[in-house]
Amino acid sequence: MKISTKSQYGLRAMSYLTKNYEKENVSSLNEIAKAESIPADYLEKIMGDLRNNDLVKSKKGAGGGYILAKSPKKINVKDIIDAVGEMEGLVDCLKEGKKKCKHEKNCVVKVVWEELEDSLYATLKSIKLSDLDH
C-alpha cells in the first residue's frame, strides 16, 4: 500500500495543529505550509477536506486560521486519511466497487489480503494525534 502525498501532508498539518491545541492558538495556512514544507494551494484543499470532516475548525479574518476541532486524543490517523479521501484497498479485489476477480470463488489467498488490510486499518485507528511526538 502506498500512502498518498495528500494523506502525508494532511497528517503533518494535523500534527502541527496539535502543538497549539492546548494553548487554543490558531495557525494560519501559510504558517502551517511554511513549517511543514507543503505547497499552500494544495494545503488549502486538504484543510477544506479536514474541515468538512469536522477534524479542524477555521476562523476567518485577521488572525484567522485553523485549529483542531477536537482533542488530539480523539483523532486517529485513519480519520485523517479517510477525510482527505486517499485510502484504497491493498489489492484490487478488496476495493469497493471494483469488478470481481475471476478467481474470487476459489481464491485461497484473498483471506491473506483481507487480514493484512484489517490489521493495517486497525493500526491506523490505534494511533492518535496525541501519540505523535511533538
How high is the mean pLDDT in each 10-residue block of the chain (134 residues)?
Answer: 88 94 88 97 97 95 91 96 80 69 79 89 95 79
CATH of domain 5-131: 1.10.10.10
Whole-number pLDDT of residue 8: 94
Q: Which residue has the cell 477536537?
A: 70
Whole-number pLDDT of residue 24: 76
CB 80, CB 10: distance < 8 Å: yes
Whole-number pLDDT of residue 68: 96
- What is this structure's pTM? 0.85
CB 60, CB 98: distance < 8 Å: no
